[in-house]
Structure 1
Amino acid sequence: MAKKIMMLLADGFEAVEASVFTDVLGWNQMEGAGGTELVTVGLREKLRCTWNFTVLPEYTLDQVTLSEFDVLVIPGGFYEAGFYEDAYSVAFLDVIRYFYAQDKLIATICVAALALGKSGILQGKQATTYNGEGSVRQAQLQAFGAEVLPDPIIRDGNIITSHNPSTGFDVAFLVLEELTGRANTNHVKTLMGFKK
């Protein structure tokens, strides 16, 4: 039975941080071991990305059953594009709390870690978020009770957080490895040109 991954999209998300999951898991389905199904979910029927184009998620949150999913992935986005309006909403945070309570894998890129912090699940946990020069995001994550570390990717139990868009592929490959194993992940990496 395929492992189902929910990609939860907030309005104002950064498209490149979502596309790493669609590409890595898509390559796995076409050329790798298969056995994974990525489903895009939003709080609304049409979402606006940070860089001025729209995306139609496959489902809205009210159309899915959380218990059917094995993994939650969340790309980050920009304050200026309204990312936190969805990412800090009760409905969005409740999804995070559900996956955490079920001890399921949760992976975020960049400032999506702040939604985890806002949900309360990072209290006393090691994590990271956007680390750009002059950024206040790491201080905000620390204020949510996380122990913020300087590494580009942090895994604490079933929670993966990362610095910025450059970490996206690595986070997606970590998710793939968790679901299908290292040998298959290396195979997909090679096909995609990440390994020679």
Structure 2
Amino acid sequence: MKKVCLLLANGFEAVEASVFTDVIGWNNLEGDGSTKLVTVGLRDTLKCTWNFTVTPELNIKDLNVDDFEALAIPGGFEEANFYTDAYSEDFLRVIREFDKQGKIIASICVGSLPIGKSGVLKGRDGTSYSLNDGKRQKELASFGVNVIPHKEIVIDRNIITSYNPSTAFNVAFTLLELLTSKENTNKVKRLMGFIK
């Protein structure tokens, strides 16, 4: 079983997390059955950007990176205190360990910012939220990342970044394809109604 760690910061966007749970879940039931997703957080209860409450399955202190093949990170809002958790040393340490082992790291929107802050994207290509005068892309660049501003999804070796919430499903499908195959991913896409 290929396990995906969905690493959640308080203040994350529920829609950006849900694409990973849905795509990996659909694959488990209707695709090749090879994937499982586990939610992980720094707190026993997390509040999403729009006040949806989530109970992660695993606390970050109990996380063993060796048990997982991939890491998924949804973005969130500063106003919902996303960066308090996302920029914490525990959160950044997990990112560094996944990268050190060459495992896939997939992020959506500002989920790329803790990846940048962790240092693993320094000198590499990436992107982040593209609107608001590029504020978040400038922040990503301040971490030494070569920001590709107008590309929806940027893949640099094992790291996937994207530039806003509209890319969420495509990031999740890219992750599934890297974990399984294009043929299997297209089967899941067809069953979910994304392709005919």
**Secondary structure at the counterpart of residue 134 of structure 1:** helix
Correspondences of 1:161-172 after superposition (within 5 Å): 161-172=161-172
Provide the C-alpha distance between the structure 2 equivalents of 1:66 and 1:135, rounded to a whole number of angstroms. 33
Correspondences of 1:109-188 after superposition (within 5 Å): 109-149=108-148, 150-188=150-188
Correspondences of 1:50-65 after superposition (within 5 Å): 50-65=49-64
C-alpha distance after superposition, 1:96-124 (max 9, x if no partner)? 00001111100000001010111011111
Provide the C-alpha distance between the structure 2 equivalents of 1:143 and 1:22, rounded to a whole number of angstroms. 31
Provide the C-alpha distance between the structure 1 equivalents of 2:49 and 2:23, rounded to a whole number of angstroms. 22
Match of 1:90 in 2: 89
**Secondary structure at the counterpart of residue 130 of structure 1:** coil
Provide the C-alpha distance between the structure 2 equivalents of 1:8 and 1:15, rounded to a whole number of angstroms. 12
The structure 1 segments of at least 4 consecutive aligned residues displaced by more than 4 Å after TM superposition are: none
C-alpha distance after superposition, 1:122-173 (max 9, x if no partner)? 1110000000143400000011001110200000000000011100000000
- Which consecutive residues of structure 2, in runs of 5 or more, have no partner in the other structure? none
Match of 1:33 in 2: 32
Match of 2:104 in 1: 105
Provide the C-alpha distance between the structure 2 equivalents of 1:101 and 1:191, rounded to a whole number of angstroms. 35
Deviation at 1:64, TM superposition (A): 2.4
CA RMSD of aligned residues (A): 0.7
- How many residue pairs were aligned? 195
Provide the C-alpha distance between the structure 2 equivalents of 1:115 and 1:133, rounded to a whole number of angstroms. 19
C-alpha distance after superposition, 1:41-74 (max 9, x if no partner)? 0001100000012100111112221211110000
Provide the C-alpha distance between the structure 1 equivalents of 2:29 and 2:20, rounded to a whole number of angstroms. 14
Deviation at 1:184, TM superposition (A): 0.5
Provide the C-alpha distance between the structure 2 equivalents of 1:122 and 1:31, rounded to a whole number of angstroms. 34
- The alignment-based identity, stated in percent, is 58
TM-score by length of 1: 0.98
**Secondary structure at the counterpart of residue 111 of structure 1:** helix
Amino acid across the alignment from 1:3: K
**Secondary structure at the counterpart of residue 32 of structure 2:** coil
Deviation at 1:94, TM superposition (A): 0.2
**Secondary structure at the counterpart of residue 5 of structure 2:** strand
**Secondary structure at the counterpart of residue 161 of structure 1:** strand
1:45 aligns with 2:44: yes
**Secondary structure at the counterpart of residue 49 of structure 2:** coil
- Which consecutive residues of structure 1, in runs of 5 or more, have no partner in the other structure? none
TM-score by length of 2: 0.98
Provide the C-alpha distance between the structure 1 equivalents of 2:179 and 2:135, rounded to a whole number of angstroms. 33
Q: 1:135 to 1:80 in 2, by over 3 A?
A: farther
